[in-house]
């Protein structure tokens, strides 16, 4: 399961804004590894550099030194709409001269087909296949006397999940959709202002966290400092998976440190599904903290029975079938001396398709584990996500068509316990009605009728 993107913006005249953005994108690399890009403005023109690859592969000393200016935005991408091609890399730039804007987007909009058609009829030509270019062109073509009015108009037309950073020649805008599906926060650096998908990016560049940007809020940052406009918000629906998996544990999302939420998920699983065992392992890295939480609450020792090779990314996976077959072995190495003859509790963040989990359990058994009891921080995922998470189509989701017992049998575990929805909400520690939980419940906060119709066809 992959998340859509990481975004960042900085308004800091006199500072090396491209380099600040580069380091912030490094900290947000976990949110997208396919492409990276930075756009800067020197108050006269916008410059853009975006390529396929990790942040460290995309930028060189030379490319960074050419990105001069007072304002910058940056983007790490994992594709959820549009294919993995350089033309889909962001930021996206539309317009020209004083009228040019660059846009970076995290999320997924559900009415992009209709808006795309409408914009094509108006004569707009698209260079990519992303919904992000639809957003950029919609803002650019919107009626309004200034960019704030144009952005507000676009917000009334767009349905779905979007956290945006927008660069005009003299202003940085940060926008969070009225449901607040994806996170976005504001920080200060050397008397200037930054915005980022996650607060961990602020920590790495020496910025101070100021606050989360509210659902429905537009923040405009220019020489006068930040000014906010709030759209009416009917219902907040932040993606609860930010706490389970996407966000880094050292990030604060909507006032809650992700590390603490994961620790509580592990403890909750120990309450809901106790078992006699000798060792608790969290699948690294996303479930490491939850593993500690389970161990602490249950009193069963926590250990590292699986080592993760953190440098195996999509980019380096060989197209060669023999290497692909190694799959999970390239990523995880079990420790037989730790696992031999042990009854193991294995804590993971989620089970999506159920393709990886049996292989991990098999690795543990081959390394000598006597029993493997699976505990999962996400309730069964039965519905796909339309808001920027590349999960799977419904027929691929194992919990959509198998009972818990059938999943247990399929993955080869001795027992299986998924956290309850109430237990998950309690662990995050924020009101339950402020989250999107649609992939567990099918109750989407934003109308997704068109997509549901496609889903029905797919299931036929
Ligand atoms: S459907 Fe699931 S993954 Fe998608 S936004 Fe909602 S909670 Fe997050």
Can you read off the two tokens belonging to residue 85? Answer: 């091609």
Atom of ligand 1 at shortest distance to CA of 241? Answer: 8
Select the more confidently predicted residue: 326 or 333: 333
Select the more confidently predicted residue: 83 or 8: 8
Q: How far is the CA of 384 from the centre of ligand 1 (A)?
A: 8
pLDDT at 319: 47
Q: Is the CB of 439 under 6 A from ligand 1?
A: yes
**Residues with catalytic function:** 5
Q: Which range (41-50, 94-103, 384-393) has the least confidence?
A: 384-393
Q: Is the pTM of this model over 0.85?
A: yes
CA distances in angstroms from 232 to 208, 229, 236, 428, listed in the order given? 28, 10, 11, 25
Q: How far is the CA of 436 from the centre of ligand 1 (A)?
A: 6
Q: pLDDT tens, 55-92?
A: 999 999 999 999 999 999 999 987 655 566 787 889 99
Q: Is the CB of 438 under 6 A from ligand 1?
A: yes
pLDDT at 95: 93
Select the more confidently predicted residue: 355 or 428: 428
Angle formed at CA 384 by CA 382 and CA 385, multiple of 5 degrees: 130
Res. 143 pLDDT band, cuts 50 70 90: very high
pLDDT at 328: 77
The number of helix segments (H) and strand segments (E) in the chain equals: 19, 23
295: left (phi over 0), alpha (psi -120 to 50) or beta: alpha
Select the more confidently predicted residue: 332 or 299: 299
Q: What is the mean pLDDT of residues 107-135?
A: 90
Atom of ligand 1 at shortest distance to CA of 445? Answer: 6
How is the beta sheet containing 46-52 ordered, strand by strand?
A: 46-52, 35-41, 71-77, 5-11, 192-196, 185-189, 208-212
Asked if pLDDT for residue 324 goes beyond 60, the answer is no
Select the more confidently predicted residue: 152 or 331: 152
Q: pLDDT tens, 399-415?
A: 999 999 999 999 999 99
Residue 16 class from Cβ within 10 Å (0-12 exposed, 13-18 middle, 19+ buried)?
Answer: middle
Q: Is the CB of 446 under 6 A from ligand 1?
A: no
Q: What is the mean pLDDT of residues 236-241?
A: 96
Strands 92-94 and 306-308: unpaired
Q: How far is the CA of 387 from the centre of ligand 1 (A)?
A: 7
Q: Is the CB of 207 under 6 A from ligand 1?
A: no
Asked if pLDDT for residue 96 goes beyond 60, the answer is yes
Q: Is the CB of 239 under 6 A from ligand 1?
A: yes
Whole-number percent of the chain with pLDDT over 90? 78
Q: How far is the CA of 437 from the centre of ligand 1 (A)?
A: 6
Mean pLDDT of the chain: 91
């Amino acid at each position: 399961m992959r998340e859509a993107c990481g975004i960042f913006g900085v308004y800091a005249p006199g500072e090396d804004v491209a380099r600040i953005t580069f380091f912030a994108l490094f900290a947000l690399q976990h949110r997208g590894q396919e492409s990276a890009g930075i756009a800067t403005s020197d108050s006269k023109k916008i410059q853009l550099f975006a390529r396929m690859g990790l942040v460290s592969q995309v930028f060189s000393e030379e490319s960074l030194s050419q990105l001069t200016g007072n304002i910058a935005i940056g983007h790490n991408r994992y594709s959820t709409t549009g294919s993995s091609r350089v033309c889909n890399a962001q930021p996206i730039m539309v317009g020209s001269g004083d009228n040019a804007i660059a846009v970076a987007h995290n999320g997924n909009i559900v009415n992009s087909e209709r808006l795309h058609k409408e914009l094509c009829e108006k004569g707009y030509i698209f260079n990519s296949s992303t919904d992000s270019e639809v957003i950029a062109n919609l803002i650019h073509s919107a009626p309004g006397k200034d960019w704030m009015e144009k952005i507000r108009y676009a917000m009334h037309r767009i349905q779905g999940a979007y956290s945006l950073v927008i660069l005009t020649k003299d202003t940085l805008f940060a926008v969070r959709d009225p449901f607040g599906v994806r996170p976005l926060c504001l920080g200060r650096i050397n008397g200037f202002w930054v915005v980022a998908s996650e607060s961990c990016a602020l920590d790495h560049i020496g910025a101070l966290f100021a606050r989360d940007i509210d659902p429905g809020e537009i923040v405009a940052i220019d020489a006068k400092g930040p000014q906010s406009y709030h759209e009416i918000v009917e219902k907040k629906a932040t993606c609860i998976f930010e706490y389970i998996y996407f966000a880094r544990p050292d990030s604060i999302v909507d006032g809650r440190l992700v590390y603490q939420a994961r620790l509580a998920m592990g403890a909750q699983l120990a309450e809901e599904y106790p078992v006699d065992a000798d060792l608790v392992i969290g699948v690294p890295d996303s479930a490491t903290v939850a593993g500690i939480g389970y161990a602490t609450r249950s009193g069963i020792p926590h250990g590292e029975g699986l080592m993760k090779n953190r440098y195996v990314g999509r980019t380096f996976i060989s197209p060669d079938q023999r290497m692909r077959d190694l799959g999970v072995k390239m990523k995880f190495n079990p420790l037989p001396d730790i696992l031999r003859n042990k009854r193991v509790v294995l804590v993971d963040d989620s089970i999506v398709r159920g393709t990886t989990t049996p292989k991990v359990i098999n690795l543990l058994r081959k390394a000598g584990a006597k029993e493997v009891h699976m505990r999962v921080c996400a309730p069964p995922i039965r519905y796909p996500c339309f808001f920027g998470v590349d999960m799977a189509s419904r027929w691929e989701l194992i919990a959509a068509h198998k009972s818990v017992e059938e999943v247990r049998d399929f993955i080869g575990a001795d027992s299986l316990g998924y956290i309850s929805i109430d237990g998950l909400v309690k662990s995050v520690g924020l009101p339950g009605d402020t989250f999107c939980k649609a992939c567990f419940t099918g109750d989407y906060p934003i109308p997704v009728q068109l997509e549901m119709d496609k889903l029905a066809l797919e299931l036929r």
